[in-house]
Amino acid sequence: MPAKTSNVSFRIDTDIKNQADSLFAQLGLNMTTAFNIFLRQAIREGSLPFTVTINAPNARTAASLEVDRLLAAERSRFTGVHGYSVDEFQNNMREAIRKGANSHG
């Protein structure tokens, strides 16, 4: 016996829909199949099948922030001064970004 189906209707930005349609067509899928894959994967995992974050830094920025955190901890350990001033932090970030940009060519 065939599975029962239900219609689902939702609104989506036209440009996003067109981009998704194009991607799914390249993958040999249509929107319905892609949406079903998404739902089945979410059910299987018991969560969204991908990580949802707010303003997550990219790998380079995350590494720079970690270096700055470690430097601040060392400074605190040796001097008793906890953290950096805003100016020191901004200068450290600019330097880390400059070094990162220069290391790639």
Distances (CA, A) of 11 to 1, 14, 16, 22: 32, 9, 11, 18
Under the banding of pLDDT at 50, 70 and 90, the label for residue 85 is low
Residue 105's pLDDT is what?
47
Tell me the torsion sign for CA atoms 6, 10, 14, 20. Answer: negative
Which residues have C-beta within 8 Å of that of residue 60, sequence separation ≥ 6? 100
Please state, rounded to an integer, the average pLDDT across all residues of the chain: 82
- Is the pLDDT at 39 greater than 90? The verdict is yes
pLDDT of the residue at 28 = 94
Q: What are phi and psi of 57, to 5 degrees?
A: -70, 150
Share of the chain above pLDDT 90, in %: 35
Q: How confident is the model at residue 16 (pLDDT cuts 50, 70, 90)?
A: very high
Q: Domain coordinates of the chain in residue numbers?
A: 14-45, 59-102
Higher pLDDT, 89 or 3: 3
CA dist., res. 52 & res. 17, Å (int): 20
Positions of E strands within 1-105: none
Write down the pTM of the prediction.
0.49
Residue-wise pLDDT for 42-71, tens only, equals: 999 898 888 777 777 778 888 887 887 788
